[in-house]
Homo-oligomer: A and B are copies of this chain.
Amino acid sequence: MELFPIGLVESELKDRDGAPKQGDEGAPDAWLHFTDAVVEGLEGIAVGDELLILTWLDRAARDVLRVVPRNDVTRGEQGVFNTRSPDRPNPIGLHRVTVLEVAEARLRVRNLEALDGTPIVDVKPLLRSIEER
């Protein structure tokens, strides 16, 4: 079960300390750069589309099973699968974005909380009947 990067995030967010927890908490717009090998797979994606971006959170810890979400001690420790912590056994990030610009092998997207240089592993259209039902 080996993933390979289909692209990389270009963002002004350089480290976890300065990054918002979720895209709707003040995350900046970002560029997604795709490899030549997969660019054909982007056909049909247009400005205004809502996408789910799956990333490999390469700066996360994989040996964490319990966390205190958002360091909120009133919530106490939770199993990581009950949180969106980047630290988890398989550190796959899931980010909802809106497409702002399509430029050949690049997409400009709104409000992405992923860090600069984060590998992209998949892109899926948001399904309103599923993710918003």
Residues on A lying within 8 angstroms of B by beta carbon are 1-6, 22-24, 38, 40-45, 49, 51-52, 54, 56, 58, 65-66, 77-84, 88-90, 92, 94, 96, 119, 121-127, 129-133
Q: Judging by beta carbons under 8 Å apart, are B3 and A90 in contact?
A: yes
Tell me which residues across on chain B come within 8 A of A79, comparing CB atoms.
40-45
Residue of A22, A88, A89, A90 contacting most chain B CB atoms (<10 Å): A90
**A125/B41 contact (C-beta < 8 A), A1-B3, A24-B133 known:** no
Q: Judging by beta carbons under 8 Å apart, are A88 and B132 in contact?
A: no
Q: Judging by beta carbons under 8 Å apart, are A94 and B124 in contact?
A: yes
Q: Judging by beta carbons under 8 Å apart, are B125 and A84 in contact?
A: yes
Q: Judging by beta carbons under 8 Å apart, are B121 and A90 in contact?
A: yes
Tell me which residues across on chain B come within 8 A of A6, comparing CB atoms.
89-90
Q: Judging by beta carbons under 8 Å apart, are A41 and B88 in contact?
A: yes
Using CB atoms, name the residue of chain B closest to A22: B130
Using CB atoms, name the residue of chain B closest to A83: B125
- Please name 7 further chain A to chain B contacts, defined as beta carbons within 8 Å, in addition to the given A43-B77, A52-B94, A132-B132, sorted by A numbering: A3-B3, A24-B130, A40-B79, A41-B81, A49-B82, A90-B121, A92-B122
Tell me which residues across on chain B come within 8 A of A5, comparing CB atoms.
1
